[in-house]
Structure 1
Amino acid sequence: AKLEIECSASERSATVFEVVDALESIMRSISGVLSVSFNQDFGCFACGLDSGFRVFNTDPLKHSYEEKLSGGIAKVEMLFRCNYIALIGGGSTPAFPTNVVVIWDVVNRKEVVRLEMSGDVNGVRLRRDRIVVVLETTVHVFSFTDSPRQLHVFDSSRNPRGICCLCPSSDNSLLAFPSPSSPSAVMCINLGEPDAPSRNIIAHMRPLAAISLNSTGTDQIVFLCSSHILLFLMHRSYFLYLNLSIQL
């Protein structure tokens, strides 16, 4: 059973500027940062370090958990405040082989699941019932169980950044990643109906830099030319945010 990381609750009183200032202060105090990522509700964020990883609560901003390892962690993927965290080794001396995803139990402070892939892992995403592993040109979907089972494999365009997003809501199971037809397009697949026709969105002429999904959906369509951001309305009320890599 997955447990919840205990963390004191407080009113969301901090301003964006206060949070940014505090984050900058924390980053200056930590050496060897390889990555920073938020959890699904932005209540926590994790830093992959050259000697392990650290987890922080967002508001109030404070240190929550630290794990010292013998090598680097390139990416950390949290699942809300669940005690299971996905880790990818990286840096000059990776803590784990770069073709491996490790599910780490922060309560018992140990590895509980290891997925060995055929090539280097560029990204990983979690929801309560799925583990998604991103390789250079494929996206692999596993059940999130004690012994994960591979459920689906999808082709993608070349994806060295591991760009991928997975809706965390129990009501939505949308998976989005760079389309195999073009690195500037997005492939959207409903994991609840994986055999249903997928949706391919031509986002731009340039390759994608990031994709993000909210968990509740929207009914607005917005296109912002000045900042090179596209907002699309998806069927089934999914809201897709595309941050595009534009060379001027």
Structure 2
Amino acid sequence: MTQQPLRGVTSLRFNQDQSCFCCAMETGVRIYNVEPLMEKGHLDHEQVGSMGLVEMLHRSNLLALVGGGSSPKFSEISVLIWDDAREGKDSKDKLVLEFTFTKPVLAVRMRHDKIVIVLKNRIYVYSFPDNPRKLFEFDTRDNPKAHPLHTLGLCDLCPSLEKQLLVFPGHKCGSLQLVDLASTKPGTSSAPFTINAHQSDVACVSLNQPGTVVASASQKGTLIRLFDTQSKEKLVELRRGTDPATLYCINFSHDSSFLCASSDKGTVHIFALKDTRLNRRSALARVGKVGPMIGQYVDSQWSLASFTVPAESACICAFGRNTSKNVNSVIAICVDGTFHKYVFTPDGNCNREAFDVYLDICDDDDF
């Protein structure tokens, strides 16, 4: 998720298991542990300049960097791999790989054996990190600008060792393409599987940890639809609201029992997936048969719980560690520098447990 700088933040990303998040800033890069909240390291402006995108590889020493902001040291058309384990005080000693293109890089995704780089209408997949070579190249529908302050490089990559699934926008409006990188021969143009998910352009997409379910929302932002990645069948339809909104983030809980979503309305919604009876339904659903015009509205499932963050501040959200069997938590990280943790129960109670300003938390050591 990216947005115009507030307090110097240009983009935010969780790592693959959502235990850390990285913060690209006008002043460099910061890496934080989520629970407990603490800064794990930083790269200052002298080392890397202002940054547009940062992506972590789990909790390893490798970072993918893309320049951006008002005083970049690196180009927005290049992805540089920073290896903090390498010795040397000069930043050049830490930069071990570079991928350069002809258009700006919109997103980067990594797993232990591959790196995915997203451009406006093309996606590249390379072997990684040893002896990188291009494995695949996919043409896509133009990655949309869903909001003037929110440029998207739509793509998600399953981190599971058992499944190498990649999802990105299809050529048809509102469609998703799924590619199993493990069963596709490198250098070939094997046709991906297509899911016709929405009537308008896709604005947000996310895979669960094992890669068995994909969730997506369109630019309209009222509905989130979940599909089985094997059968391509729709599993459930979740309603965020009735007013259009820009969705910034969708994430699954670690066991796929819940899903959370954030938008420009300043609300983080929490849905039940394992037991969908926990989700709220329209009061009209108890009336019985209704006309076709409102049938979809009545049948939709609404969030079981929600909480608000500053509406003018975009955020990413993810699930925290469970404190007990019946108490779960959601973390929201905002570009205004604030950290929010809410706990919720299956009956829909949702209360704030922690608040902090992560930009005020400093670590004396470099990353």
Higher strand share: 2
Provide the C-alpha distance between the structure 1 equivalents of 2:162 and 2:222, rounded to a whole number of angstroms.
31
- Max Rg structure: 2
Contact 2:107 2:117 in 1 (8 A): yes
Corresponding position of 2:183? 193
Per mean C-alpha deviation after superposition, the further-off stretch among 70-79 and 130-139 is 70-79
Residue among 165, 169, 172 paired with 1:181: 172
Judged with a 3 Å threshold, the aligned counterparts in structure 2 of structure 1 residues 218 and 56 are, in CA distance, closer, same or farther, namely same
Residue among 79, 83, 90 paired with 1:101: 79
Residue among 135, 149, 157 paired with 1:151: 135
Structure 1 residue 197: Cα displacement:
4.5
Corresponding position of 2:314? none
Provide the C-alpha distance between the structure 2 equivalents of 1:239 and 1:46, rounded to a whole number of angstroms.
33
Provide the C-alpha distance between the structure 2 equivalents of 1:239 and 1:145, rounded to a whole number of angstroms.
35
Contact 1:213 1:239 in 2 (8 A): no
Corresponding position of 1:18? none
Establish whether residue 141 from structure 1 lines up as the match of residue 106 from structure 2.
no
Corresponding position of 2:153? 162
C-alpha distance after superposition, 1:102-143 (max 9, x if no partner): 111123362111111121111110011101110111000011
Provide the C-alpha distance between the structure 1 equivalents of 2:213 and 2:25, rounded to a whole number of angstroms.
39
Aligned pairs for 1:23-34 within 5 A: 31-34=7-10
Corresponding position of 2:65? 87
Aligned pairs for 1:58-97 within 5 A: 58-70=34-46, 71-97=49-75
Compute the RMSD of aligned alpha carbons.
3.2
Structure 1 residue 232: Cα displacement:
1.1
- Matching residue's letter, 1:148: P
Judged with a 3 Å threshold, the aligned counterparts in structure 2 of structure 1 residues 104 and 201 are, in CA distance, closer, same or farther, namely same
Relative contact order higher in (CA < 8 Å, ≥ 6 apart) = 2
- Matching residue's letter, 2:118: V
Residue among 24, 44, 57 paired with 2:33: 57
Contact 2:57 2:110 in 1 (8 A): yes
Establish whether residue 216 from structure 1 lines up as the match of residue 210 from structure 2.
yes
Residue among 154, 166, 171 paired with 2:162: 171
C-alpha distance after superposition, 1:7-52 (max 9, x if no partner): xxxxxxxxxxxxxxxxxxxxxxx93000111001110001000121
Q: Point out where structure 2 has 5 or more consecutive residues left out of the alignment.
A: 1-5, 145-151, 246-367
Relative to the length of structure 2, the TM-score reads 0.53
Provide the C-alpha distance between the structure 1 equivalents of 2:163 and 2:29, rounded to a whole number of angstroms.
30
Structure 1 residue 241: Cα displacement:
10
Judged with a 3 Å threshold, the aligned counterparts in structure 2 of structure 1 residues 238 and 82 are, in CA distance, closer, same or farther, namely farther
Corresponding position of 2:109? 125
Judged with a 3 Å threshold, the aligned counterparts in structure 2 of structure 1 residues 82 and 227 are, in CA distance, closer, same or farther, namely same
Relative to the length of structure 1, the TM-score reads 0.77
